[in-house]
Structure 1
Amino acid sequence: MSFEGTQKYIASKELQLAVNAAITLERPLLIKGEPGTGKTMLAEELATSLGTDLIQWHIKSTTKAQQGLYEYDAVSRLRDSQLGDDKVHDISNYIVKGKLWQAFSAEQRPVLLIDEIDKADIEFPNDLLQELDRMEFFVYETRETIKAAQRPIVVITSNNEKELPDAFLRRCFFHYITFPDVDEMRAIVDMHFPNIKKQLLNQALETFFSLREVPGLKKKPSTSELIDWLKLLVAEDIPPEALQSKDGKQTIPPLYGALLKNEQDIHLFEKLIFMARR
């Protein structure tokens, strides 16, 4: 198995090395980076490139590690017992398989995505240490041990909202996706808009990167937001000249709502533009 990116996903040499190293070491790949830098998409395209299934576990603030293993549906069993249903005598009918169980029992080695692990409680990563290490867990209700038929390729993403425990970090292969430079971003855009006018792209990239450099922004525009903005510029047939004022100075870009996502950043940018023009 070797990952080199796909037609839809440009992976840097460093990212390719990280993915392939994690597969070789059979360790979870922990991916960090700014929101919108393609962390989740990496797992999707990795599964595509390897021709295998992707099992996605999207983490929320209320998610518990046990849910990834299995859940016992006691309420359904109680209801069925009141109705006299015969299946109530087999407790396995009320065991709901979690994402890890699905990955462990897959016929073909899958890619398991644990997405945005930092959203969960601080104990969540520690609660998965043994299962990710041994690739097995015990089901107390049925008195059986579930072992992985083959070790899944585990990709874990984090937006750095909270620190992860050291014990968990030691078990992962870590990679931070750095934000693309102008040339890398141009290659990414070319995948989405192969026929975009060069002058429009040049001016849009200049505006985008200068906007990211504005000091004090609460949320810098990301790759996904640039793609959305370009899609709008192309759809509305916005000329390159509209992205810059006649005197060559920066101006408020058209359709800026695709780039700036909160009112504080919009007010800050407008204020800086106004001050620059005085």
Structure 2
Amino acid sequence: MRFDGTDDYVSTDDLTMAVNAAITLERPLLVKGEPGTGKTELARQVAQALGLPMIEWNVKSTTKAQQGLYEYDAVSRLRDSQLGDEKVNDVANYIRKGKLWQAFEADGKVVLLIDEVDKADIEFPNDLLQELDKMEFHVYETGETVKARQRPIVIITSNNEKELPDAFLRRCFFHYIKFPDHDTLRKIVEVHHPDIKPALLTSALTQFYELREQPGLKKKPSTSEVLDWLKLLLAEDLDAEDLKRDGANALPKLHGALLKNEQDVHLFERLAFMARRQGR
């Protein structure tokens, strides 16, 4: 079982190696990187390439590790007991299986995505250590032990919003997705927009990297945002000449796809103002 990328996803050599190393070691693959660099999409593409089903657990700030195992609905059981419902005699009727349980009981191997693990409380990763290591957990209400029929391929993503515990990191194979260089980004764009004219692509990527490298920028635009921007440029039927800027306008065309806060927009407006003053 080996991942070599897909037609829809440009995987660099080091990312491909990381995926296959995690599969070989049977350890979770922890993927970090800027938002929008394809971390979540990686799991989907691994599942597609290997022909495996995917189970996705989207972590939120309120998510608890226990929810990934199971939840016991005591309130519903109490209500049913008051109504005289016979199903209250079997506590299993009130156990809701979590994403890990679903992955463990699957008939075959699956890809389990734990997305944005750093959003949750700092104890969240520690609370999953044993389950991800031993691939089993105990259900206290029923007394059963749930063991994985086949060890899933676990991919965990993080936007680096907070540090993860050392004990958790030791159990993972780690990879940081660097922001793609010019050639890699060109390949990514050509996958999504195969008919884009070379001159437009060259001009757009030049502007994009100049924008990303602007000192003082609060939020650098990501891969997903440049793809959206190019989609808009194509929809408006713009060409390389249309993208040319003068000193009076430092903002790129349709900049709302790239700049996502007012501070960054004001930064480029100030640059344009300074350029106009110097040009007098």
TM-score, normalised with respect to structure 2: 0.97
- TM-superposed deviation, 1:273: 2.9
Residues 70, 96 of structure 2: 8 Å contact kept: yes
Q: Which whole-Å deviations, capped at 9, do the CAs of 1:157-216 have from their partners, x for residues lacking one?
A: 000000000000000000000111111011000011111111111110001000000111
**Which portions of structure 1, spanning 4 or more consecutive aligned residues, are displaced by more than 4 angstroms?**
none
Give the stretch that moved more between structures: 230-239 or 110-119.
Answer: 230-239
SS state at 1:96 partner: strand
Q: Corresponding residue for 2:269?
A: 270
Any residues of structure 2 matched to 1:78-93 within 5 Å, and which? 78-93=78-93
Q: Corresponding residue for 1:215?
A: 215
Work out the CA distance in 1 between the residues paired with 2:180 and 2:273: 29
Identity %: 71
Q: Corresponding residue for 1:64?
A: 64
Q: Which whole-Å deviations, capped at 9, do the CAs of 1:250-271 have from their partners, x for residues lacking one?
A: 8311110000000011101221
Task: Letter of the 1:275 partner, please give it.
Answer: M
Work out the CA distance in 1 between the residues paired with 2:211 and 2:273: 15
Any residues of structure 2 matched to 1:192-203 within 5 Å, and which? 192-203=192-203
Q: Which whole-Å deviations, capped at 9, do the CAs of 1:47-103 have from their partners, x for residues lacking one?
A: 011111110000000000000000000111111111111111000000000000000
Residue 262 (structure 2) pairs with residue 257 (structure 1): no
SS state at 1:114 partner: strand
**Runs of at least 5 residues in structure 2 that lack an aligned partner in the other structure:** none
Q: Corresponding residue for 2:229?
A: 229
Going from structure 1 to structure 2, the CA distance change for 1:266 and 1:147 (only over 3 Å counts) comes to same
SS state at 2:241 partner: helix
Residues 37, 224 of structure 2: 8 Å contact kept: yes
Task: Letter of the 1:92 partner, please give it.
Answer: A
Residues 244, 251 of structure 1: 8 Å contact kept: no
Residues 243, 251 of structure 1: 8 Å contact kept: no
Task: Letter of the 2:151 partner, please give it.
Answer: R
Once superposed, what is the RMSD of the aligned Cα atoms?
1.2
Work out the CA distance in 2 between the residues paired with 1:125 and 1:276: 50
Work out the CA distance in 2 between the residues paired with 1:140 and 1:246: 68
Q: Corresponding residue for 1:138?
A: 138
Q: Which whole-Å deviations, capped at 9, do the CAs of 1:219-248 have from their partners, x for residues lacking one?
A: 10000000000000000112322222368x
TM-score, normalised with respect to structure 1: 0.97
Work out the CA distance in 1 between the residues paired with 2:134 and 2:161: 28
Task: Letter of the 2:173 partner, please give it.
Answer: F
**Runs of at least 5 residues in structure 1 that lack an aligned partner in the other structure:** none
Task: Letter of the 1:93 partner, please give it.
Answer: N
Work out the CA distance in 1 between the residues paired with 2:96 and 2:251: 52
Any residues of structure 2 matched to 1:7-22 within 5 Å, and which? 7-22=7-22
Task: Letter of the 1:38 partner, please give it.
Answer: G
Q: Corresponding residue for 1:167?
A: 167
Work out the CA distance in 1 between the residues paired with 2:249 and 2:127: 50
Q: Corresponding residue for 1:125?
A: 125
Q: Corresponding residue for 1:111?
A: 111
Q: Corresponding residue for 1:151?
A: 151
Task: Give the length in aligned residue pairs.
Answer: 277
